[in-house]
Amino acid sequence: MSRALQFELRLAERMSRLGTETAFEVLNRARALERQGKDIIHLEIGEPDFDTPQNIVNSGIDALRAGWTHYGPAAGLPDLRQAIAEEVSRSRGVEVNPEEVVVVPGGKPIIFFSILALVDEGDEVIYPNPGFPIYESMIRYVGGRAVPIRLREEKDFSLDLDELAHLISDRTRLIILNSPHNPTGGVLSKRDLDQIAEAIGDRNIFVLSDEIYSRLIFEGKHHSIIAEPSFKDRTILLDGFSKSYAMTGWRMGYGVMRPDLAVQIARLMTNSNSCTASFTQVAGVEALHGGQSSVEHMREEFQRRRDAFVAGLNQIKGFSCRMPKGAFYVFPNVTGTGWKSKALAEALLEEAGIACLSGTSFGEFGEGYLRFSIANSMENLDRALEKIKQWVINNPV
């Protein structure tokens, strides 16, 4: 029983503007149902179901034994910054130096710190909707004006360039891109990026390019706006270890940005975390320098599951699903069922034992969709398809 509290909790006003990630709430509800003895298939959480590759785990253990248990530099260990600079230079085709890299505990702090560092009250930030909910939460938290750009299914969940041009104003400070995209699996092509760069032109607008799923591409190649002419100085590239190397719980990501901004983001690190855990960073060097076959294995496995799960969903009455080009999510259109997204997600959890997310967890333009994470075994994905199919047959609107 909770204790009666003598003093009222008076939160700062800004806390009323802080959002959340529904995935964790759905996970809690699913766990509660499991405690009641229900069988739940978890397709709600965005983390690889693979273990961290053994060479990385061993490197972390060795680092602990070797005494990498102390504070390190706020912007990250020099060896890791160097390894990241080399990796990003190679993969994005631009020259990146270690002083342009800031290592932080996960990809998320780069979102928070970039917005804190760049956005003043009343400044406008354009962000994808549907999109990762933390963008809007952080923009609003700092007093910025959150300006959604709708990602449309008929455009394969890419950006509508006329709409982007229309949304850019004198107050636009930052534009957030995310490719491969959570939740739709959409991928921005080189042509898309050329056109986005053209729409921004030479305005002093920064781009936060969230590329946390850069290694999970099923068709073609990953492209980044950082490689567009004149965009290196205006881009903050976010990437990390969580999704590529199944290291979500290690908490390690990074930002790549011009050196003068990197110094400011490192100051935010000094003020918040001091540094990213040192032994974790040693393991990060191993992740980048060691064999990459486990990354490729995970990518292939996600592709196999994607193909099967999308085909299965398209057999279900009222569902129609595009083939995602990247990340590990599937985002079917469910308007044909007659159900609203949130009600359908809740009913599937409570009555069919399928934990998934309503498209509206990713913003208002997610209405009409559900998000399934395919970070689960093929056997469970097959079982999920059968359960959803049966439930839909039994529950016509």
Ligand X SMILES: Cc1ncc(COP(=O)(O)O)c(C=O)c1O
List residues binding ligand X (CB under 6 A). Answer: 46, 106-108, 132, 178, 182, 210, 212, 240, 242, 248, 253
Q: Which residue has the tokens 């980048």?
A: 288
By beta-carbon proximity to ligand X, the closer residue of 144 and 326 is 326
By beta-carbon proximity to ligand X, the closer residue of 49 and 210 is 210
Quote the least distance from Cβ 107 to ligand X, whole Å.
3
Quote the least distance from Cβ 388 to ligand X, whole Å.
23
DSSP 217: B
By beta-carbon proximity to ligand X, the closer residue of 245 and 279 is 245
Answer yes or no: are the C-beta atoms of 231 and 86 closer than 8 Å: no
Quote the least distance from Cβ 177 to ligand X, whole Å.
10
Gap between the Cα atoms of 73 and 20, Å rounded: 30
Gap between the Cα atoms of 167 and 149, Å rounded: 8
Q: Which amino acid is at 351?
A: E
Gap between the Cα atoms of 351 and 143, Å rounded: 40
Cα atoms in the 13 Å half-sphere on the side-chain side of 326:
26
Quote the least distance from Cβ 251 to ligand X, whole Å.
7
By beta-carbon proximity to ligand X, the closer residue of 182 and 333 is 182
By beta-carbon proximity to ligand X, the closer residue of 247 and 285 is 247
Angle at 301 between CA 299 and CA 305, to 5 degrees: 115
**Strand 235-240 vs strand 253-256: parallel, antiparallel, or unpaired?**
antiparallel
By beta-carbon proximity to ligand X, the closer residue of 135 and 319 is 135
Q: Which amino acid is at 125?
A: V
Quote the least distance from Cβ 391 to ligand X, whole Å.
27
**Closest residue by beta carbon to ligand X:** 106
Quote the least distance from Cβ 45 to ligand X, whole Å.
9
By beta-carbon proximity to ligand X, the closer residue of 53 and 253 is 253
Gap between the Cα atoms of 119 and 322, Å rounded: 35
Quote the least distance from Cβ 362 to ligand X, whole Å.
10
Answer yes or no: are the C-beta atoms of 280 and 251 closer than 8 Å: yes
DSSP 145: E
